Amino acid sequence: MPAELIDGAAVAKKIRGEVAVRCAALAARGIVPGLSVVLVGDDGGSAAYVRNKEKASIEVGMRGETIRMPATTTQDELLAVVDRLNADPAVHGILVQMPVPKQIDPQAVIRRIASSKDVDGFHPVNVGKVLIGERDGFAPCTPAGVHVLLQEYGVETAGKHVVIVGRSNIVGKPMMALLIQQGAGGDATVTVCHSRTPDLAWHTKRADIVIAAVGRPGTITGDMIRPGAVVIDVGTSRVADPTTKSGMRLLGDVDFATVSAVASKLTPVPGGVGPMTIAMLLRNTVRAAEQTA
């Protein structure tokens, strides 16, 4: 029996609806949640992603703003913009789109954003809060979205063995932190695998839940999955495909054909984790606004 597909687009739509209700409640009190996204340079993929963020924020009743800066922008110039946004009470969420040009230190930028406005969840204060389980911080949007998907689809994590493939600060590490907390969506035993892990399949075959986040298409195949396991594919890689209109195709880290024949539940790419990232960004932003009300 093929795996049940986890519909991230449907869950994201539900979350956006909930965010719109919360925005309306704030608007009735004279508060319009504001999300400012800063884009440095002209990377096509980043620009498209930023447009989607701005559009999504406006649709739920937020003030969406995109600040575009040239690729020649210096670090001091970017930090000055961040300082201005930090000081603006109409701005509740700040996001500097990564990657930034090589002359800019991304960590210096992340640390400059006020932790109370860091809706991307990368500031060290928020990283620490997520790790120790404090609820007033902001978790990074992609792992937070995975966390919600597991709960929405009734995937039990308590007492289960989760294998995360990938140890990035964006997904792997915060995903681990969310899953080991006490309470709903937590209490899991978590193994984090990475490029130096010998015999990756030995670990994944013993997992109740596998979360793949390495950015390499087809890393996880059906023979690496225990029958009935839940598989979450976070990967998104664009590969050439002359059969499509754009000439490109989006692939995940999971070999869909072989894994879907073994797993009980599986996120597709696209349409799985991807839509959840922006939805969780909106949720973080409205919560940041509520915390200032």
Q: What is the pLDDT of residues 82-94, one digit of tens each?
A: 999 999 999 999 9
How many angstroms separate the CA atoms of 138 and 123, rounded?
9
How many angstroms separate the CA atoms of 218 and 221, rounded?
7
Write down the H helix ranges in 133-209.
Answer: 141-152, 172-179, 200-204
Q: 140-274: CATH homologous superfamily?
A: NAD(P)-binding Rossmann-like Domain (3.40.50.720)
Q: Which CATH number fits domain 30-115: 3.90.79.10, 3.30.70.1380, 3.40.50.10860, 3.40.190.10?
A: 3.40.50.10860
Please give the torsion angle defined by the CA atoms of residues 82, 107, 115 and 162, in that order, rounded to the nearest 10 degrees.
140
In the residue annotation, 53 being an active-site residue is answered as yes
Give the percent of the chain with pLDDT over 70: 100
Q: What is the pLDDT of residues 240-260, one digit of tens each?
A: 888 888 888 889 999 999 999
Q: What is the pLDDT of residues 166-176, one digit of tens each?
A: 999 999 999 99
Residue among 118, 230, 219, 222 nearest 174 (CA)? 118
Tell me the CA distances in angstroms from 118 to 91, 101, 112, 146, 192, one per residue in order: 11, 20, 10, 19, 26
Q: What is the pLDDT of residues 219-234, one digit of tens each?
A: 999 999 999 999 999 9
Fold equal for 30-115 and 140-274: yes
In the residue annotation, 151 being an active-site residue is answered as no
Q: Which of 118, 120, 208, 253 is catalytic?
A: 120
Q: Which of 97, 117, 118, 181 is catalytic?
A: 97
Domain range list for the chain: 30-115, 140-274
Q: Given strand 63-69, what is the order of strands in its sheet?
A: 63-69, 34-40, 93-96
Confidence of residue 42 (pLDDT cuts 50, 70, 90): confident
Looking at the predicted structure, is the pLDDT value of residue 4 above 70?
Answer: yes
